[in-house]
Amino acid sequence: MTIAERALEMIQDGFVVGLGTGRAATEFVNALGKRVQQGLRIRGVPTSQRSADLATQLGIPLITLDQVEQLDLDVDGADEVDPNLDLIKGLGGALIREKIVAAAAKRFIVLVGSEKIVPALGAHGVLPVEVVPFALPLCMRRLTAMGMPPTPRQKDGKLFISDNANYVLDCKIQPIADPRKLEAEILAIPGVVGTGLFLGMAHTVLIQDGDNVQVKERKGQ
């Protein structure tokens, strides 16, 4: 069984489902599309234009957040998962919309391979931060002063522009001792829209380990 197939078992007829962005989320959306073609009735809220385009191709009906008070489930991937099920996301460039959709869901399901499991966030050395274009110079200086030298993300030789018309800075980091403190310090920089730190948000993490799927639930649920 795959993590996408395991996530599908959590989907019920009539659900409103958040559709994540990235490799693992794409596998899930493809699997969900097949179920929809077989008669499953759901509606999706995409986290990016890419996931919206894919869902449309597969015949998954889409709605927006102003059409529903709460999502039943959000399914997305992650770049890092620590022992507390806190995450780093955003290497796919959709971190802000991903965070909004996850916050709007009753349950946030994260799909990862075993290589994404880390002892502490920051183990892979990169934290994405989305910033308003006008604030790019200020944000870069402030992040550098914090010991997190940023590199503006590029695509096709140009600055990458998010679906929100912002820039993404990939900050070089060490394992983070206090993710919540760091999140607050970054968000205090004028022009920062959000970070790739997803703290206390994931309810369930499905981990692909060979042919097996390991399920981890957040403590206190």
Give the catalytic positions in this structure: 98
Amino acid 18 reads: G
Q: Considering only CA atoms, which of 96, 90, 74 is closest in space to residue 20?
A: 74
Q: Write down the residue that tokens 């971190």 correspond to.
A: 95
Q: Which residues make beta-bridge pairs with 46?
A: 19
Q: How far is CA 213 from CA 33, 74, 111, 155, 206, in A?
A: 21, 18, 10, 34, 6
